[in-house]
């Protein structure tokens, strides 16, 4: 059984989710236009929303810990709800999604290291 988000216990992460994040990074690196990046983020959003929150939080944390990133060729845009409508990179997208699915984890100071890595 998956642990509740923010409980500190890691939820099992489906292999498909790990593979999809690595594939998204490669796709974004090779994307020549913004439309391709939007499609990658749409597919990721669909995949992540299909996971239980604890599993989504765990796979996001694993990927963010890897310090991998890929630029999206999109402008950084925030929507009226305070969440991104267009992320400038994969890490920025994942941080924003983490805040939506597991705010307690996203708000922890230990998670802020991900934002520092995203800026560097």
- Computed from CA positions of residues 74, 50, 17, 117, in that sequence, does the dihedral angle turn out positive or negative? positive
Whether the Cβ atoms of residue 21 and residue 47 lie closer than 8 Å to each other: no
- Provide the pLDDT for residue 107: 77
Residue 6, domain member (yes or no): no
Domain extent for 50: 15-119
- Provide the pLDDT for residue 114: 54
Backbone angles phi, psi at 77, to 5 degrees: -130, 135
Give the chain's mean pLDDT: 83
Residue 1, domain member (yes or no): no
Give the pLDDT band (50/70/90) at residue 120.
very low
Residue 55, domain member (yes or no): yes
pLDDT in tens, 63-114: 988 888 999 999 999 999 999 999 999 999 999 999 998 888 777 766 655 5
Mean pLDDT of 20-45: 92
Residue 9, domain member (yes or no): no
The answer, yes or no, to whether residue 6 has pLDDT greater than 70, is: no
Residue 3, domain member (yes or no): no
- Provide the pLDDT for residue 3: 40
Residue 2, domain member (yes or no): no
The answer, yes or no, to whether residue 4 has pLDDT greater than 60, is: no
Please state, as a whole number, how many other Cβ atoms lie within 10 Å of the Cβ of residue 39.
12
Residue 48, domain member (yes or no): yes
Whether the Cβ atoms of residue 47 and residue 17 lie closer than 8 Å to each other: yes
Per the structure, the count of domains in the chain is 1
């Amino acid at each position: 059984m998956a642990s509740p988000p923010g409980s500190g216990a890691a939820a099992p992460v489906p292999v498909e989710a790990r593979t999809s994040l690595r594939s998204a990074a490669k796709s974004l690196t090779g994307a020549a236009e913004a439309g391709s990046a939007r499609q990658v983020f749409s597919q990721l959003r669909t995949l992540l929303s299909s996971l239980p929150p604890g599993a989504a939080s765990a796979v996001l944390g694993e990927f963010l810990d890897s310090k991998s990133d890929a630029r999206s060729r999109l402008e950084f845009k925030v929507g009226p709800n305070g969440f991104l409508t267009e992320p400038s990179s994969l890490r920025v997208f994942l941080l924003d999604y983490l805040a939506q699915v597991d705010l307690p984890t996203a708000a922890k100071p230990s998670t802020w290291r991900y934002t520092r890595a995203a800026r560097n």
